[in-house]
Amino acid sequence: MTALLKNILKGCFSVLAFVGAPHYNMIRDYWTPPPNGINFTQASTIPNRIPNETDEVLIEKQAIFDVLLQTRIWADKYITNPFPYLEPDITKISKEQLDYYKKTFYINMKKYENFKDKIYQQFKTSKIEGNKVKQLTEK
């Protein structure tokens, strides 16, 4: 987000951007004023792994974030390595291992999408009227 705002500013004199509270602190931290520009090293650093954390757990965390944030980062053309937190160099991951990672991600993503949909449906089918909760009928 910080990089996007900085690139927009190259073509104009001012920008009015509305960002959510969770994003404000990160943008402020990464916003390096001229002449240094954006601190891309800090913004793109992957933290060290937690000891004994498996590849499958890390992939599951990525799936949870994708479901919660409704992102599909792999769809972006500039992404060449969908698992940089497992292996920074995509060429060191074998095709079989990459296929296994993708399958693990897909299974977890479907699991959490179904869970999110189930929770969402519970809220969607309830309506608060005064002090009572009335079930709505699906039409």
Q: Could you read off the pLDDT of 55-112 as tens digits, one per residue?
A: 999 999 989 888 887 777 666 676 778 888 898 888 899 999 999 999 999 999 999 9
Residue with tokens 């897909």: 106
Residue found under tokens 């240094």: 36
- HSE-CB for 38 with a 13 A CA cutoff: 15
User: Cα–chain-centroid distance for residue 114?
Assistant: 18
Q: How many CB atoms lie within 10 A of CB 66?
A: 18
Q: What is the pLDDT of residue 25?
A: 80
Q: Where are the domains of the chain?
A: 2-43, 55-135
Q: Residue 52, by phi and psi: left (phi above 0), alpha (psi -120 to 50) or beta?
A: left
- Residue 139 pLDDT: 43
Question: Residue 100: what pLDDT?
Answer: 96
Specify the pLDDT at position 110.
94
The answer to whether the CB of 74 falls within 8 A of the CB of 82 is: yes
pLDDT tens sequence across 31-41? 766 556 655 56
Burial class (CB within 10 angstroms; exposed 0-12, middle 13-18, buried 19+) of 138:
exposed
Residue 137 in this model has a pLDDT that exceeds 50: no
